[in-house]
Structure 1
Amino acid sequence: MMTFTKRTLLAAAASLPLMAGSAWAEGLISIIVNDPANPYWFTEGEVAKATAEELGYEATVAAHKGDTNVESNLVDAAITNGAKAIILDPANADGSIGVVKKAKEAGIPVFLVNAEINESGLAIGQLVSNNAQGAALGAVAWQEMVGDSAKYVEFFGNPADNNAATRSNGYETVISQYPDLMQVAEEVANWDRTQGYNKMQSIIQANPDFTAVISGNDEMALGAIAALKEAGKLDGVTVGGFDGSPDAVAAVKAGEMAYTVLQPVAVFSREAVIQADYYIKNGSPMVDEEKQLFDCLLITADNVANYTAPFTLSE
């Protein structure tokens, strides 16, 4: 498994200009994301599309919104349309195995981004954030801000996405070293802001004396912040997020969110298309390792001014 550090991420972002041929001369690349209503997945799709077009391909972006049936139909459409490659953010670690296998059998290389499937040897590449590294990075910062003793709440993402458990386990590895950090609630909010808001409203009623929140992504954290503000309880509550979304960065600037962990989605979405182009033209992988990890970065009040574009942190 290959890991991309901050230095290699910056190098990738500053790579040489790509040489494109005439528009769409290279064929179609189908890009399938989760839900573009979330700025993270919107950026994923737009960066991949722009990179494909820069390389001379036609590119389409479609969304399955976590529905494996929709995902299957979109992969069928990509096969029917003669796609040269598919860039896929899988809907389900187990449930998406079949669609990747189907594309492979049709002779179409698949490059997974953001989330993995629980089977190797089907996708040419699985390019994801280093979620364990990012979770540890966030949890260490969170503990330093919260202290050695506190009651806290955790928001857990979609259980069908391996990233949810990886981040939660990463949090637990750090927090368990401090026995006086007591979890009073853990809620599944499926990466969703509205669910984070609703779940936080219920938590406030049942456990009003917590002083910290650690969240599996920014959307759930932002929903929690909205509920805390509405209840007049945000002051004195430390909230940590994960994604590095523009709204989360704005919340860090406003002093409402303590930090967010930036996932380099703009980097690995671009890299996936570059690797797809290489495979299309050479018939072999550009990178030997199927699973490729891209290190996350911490955004706090100290460096938030370096956030120069969506999901991009400059030196």
Structure 2
Amino acid sequence: MKTILKVALACAVSVAALFTTAAVAADKFVVGYANMADTDVFVMARKNAFIEAAKADPDVEINFTDANNDASKQLDQIDNLIAQKVNAIVVVPVDYEGIVPGVEKANKAGIPIIALGIQSAGGKYTFVGSKNIDAGVMQGEFMKANLPKDAKILYLQGTPGLYHSQERLKGFQDALQRPDVTTLATLTGNYDRAEGMKVTEDWIQSFPQFDAIIAANDQMALGALQALQAADRLKGVMISGVDGTPDAVNAIKAGEMSQSVFQNAAGQAKAAFEVVEMIKKGEPAPAEKLVPFESITKDNVDKYMKK
């Protein structure tokens, strides 16, 4: 009889514990974080910074997904987050146009959306990040001021068709505005260091002289740097990238790159989590929360060096 009572008591305790756990989980404010690609250096830096920011509120739980640069996969992941009935979704869109159905489905389900780093072409959401066209403008302004007369340049474009690739190129072209500057070629390196290196190797064979390579991100710029170093063609060639990654900052300090446009991963992550907290408190979320780009050159590079 005592044994039966002990078993019954143990079961009761287990059930009580189960309900307690469920109650704690129910008390959590659950955020779905749909990442563009965990393989991207800057994107991962921002994700890690978001994780750090979220530590300030133990009542927030984050469910992560990784689309690996696949827009269709990202839409499926957002569908799953909606089915889980998360309280909010932070999405780093693979594509400006492609993310729209996911944003609209979340709108219909009453789940607030924060588009981090890249905007959506439709639906209702809060944009947190930096305007990509501004990065291109900063690159164009720098080159306009520093290129020699009758300069010849090359442009490493981001993944074709993606909104941020188009915006960075447009901003650069709009700001350069120098009729004496000739663009020899514009080719994609798909935001990848190895591809940026391969394209630059081909350019080195095709063009006996050029004065600058402008890249839509630091990974491609660093690939171009490697190719130029290997061919002993770095002297006299300016290189510009976007993101302000540690490798790019170190290259500027060493005199190997001329510029990077700093995209503040930690600042964007912190701003996104501030919007999450507003939603959690029932406050209206803003239409956008901007974190400006910053141009890094030899004149201010020390400010961006990792301590």
Q: Which among 278, 291, 294 is matched to residue 297 of structure 1?
A: 294
5+ residue gaps, structure 2, are 1-23
Q: Partner of 1:240 in structure 2?
A: 240
Alpha-carbon distance between aligned partners in 2 of 1:306 and 1:162, rounded to the nearest angstrom: 30
Q: TM-score, normalised by structure 2?
A: 0.86
Alpha-carbon distance between aligned partners in 2 of 1:266 and 1:274, rounded to the nearest angstrom: 12
Equivalent position SS for 1:82 = coil
Alpha-carbon distance between aligned partners in 2 of 1:192 and 1:240, rounded to the nearest angstrom: 15
Tell whether 2:47 aligns with 1:50. no
Q: 1:265-290: CA deviations, max 9, x gaps?
A: 321222112112212321522x2xx2
Give the deviation of 1:194 after TM superposition.
Answer: 1.3
Preserved contact between residue 87 and residue 273 of structure 1 (Cα < 8 Å): no
Q: TM-score, normalised by structure 1?
A: 0.84
Over 6 Å off, 4+ runs? none
Give the deviation of 1:76 after TM superposition.
Answer: 2.4
Alpha-carbon distance between aligned partners in 1 of 2:91 and 2:149, rounded to the nearest angstrom: 41
Q: Partner of 1:271 in structure 2?
A: 271
Structure 1 pair 276–174 and aligned structure 2 pair: CA distance change class (3 A): same
Q: Partner of 1:164 in structure 2?
A: 165
Give the deviation of 1:308 after TM superposition.
Answer: 5.2
5+ residue gaps, structure 1, are 1-21, 311-315
Give the deviation of 1:239 after TM superposition.
Answer: 0.5
Write out aligned runs for 1:123-272 (5 A). 123=125, 125-176=126-177, 178-272=178-272
Alpha-carbon distance between aligned partners in 1 of 2:133 and 2:70, rounded to the nearest angstrom: 26
Tell whether 2:284 aligns with 1:284. yes
Greater mean deviation of Cα atoms: 159-168 or 187-196: 159-168
Equivalent position SS for 1:28 = strand
Structure 1 pair 302–232 and aligned structure 2 pair: CA distance change class (3 A): same
Preserved contact between residue 241 and residue 260 of structure 1 (Cα < 8 Å): yes
Alpha-carbon distance between aligned partners in 1 of 2:157 and 2:45, rounded to the nearest angstrom: 22
Amino acid corresponding to residue 231 of structure 1 in structure 2: A
Give the deviation of 1:197 after TM superposition.
Answer: 0.9
Preserved contact between residue 246 and residue 305 of structure 2 (Cα < 8 Å): no
Q: Partner of 1:82 in structure 2?
A: 85
Tell whether 2:124 aligns with 1:122. yes
Alpha-carbon distance between aligned partners in 2 of 1:118 and 1:273, rounded to the nearest angstrom: 22
Higher helix proportion (structure 1 or 2):
2
Structure with more relative contact order (C-alpha pairs < 8 Å, separation 6 or more) = 1
Preserved contact between residue 53 and residue 59 of structure 1 (Cα < 8 Å): no
Give the deviation of 1:47 after TM superposition.
Answer: 1.6
Amino acid corresponding to residue 53 of structure 1 in structure 2: K
Alpha-carbon distance between aligned partners in 2 of 1:24 and 1:230, rounded to the nearest angstrom: 57
Amino acid corresponding to residue 83 of structure 1 in structure 2: V
Give the deviation of 1:122 after TM superposition.
Answer: 2.1
Larger Rg: 2
Amino acid corresponding to residue 246 of structure 1 in structure 2: P
Structure 1 pair 50–160 and aligned structure 2 pair: CA distance change class (3 A): farther
Percent identical residues: 27
Q: 1:23-63: CA deviations, max 9, x gaps?
A: 99532212122222222101111122222232221123322
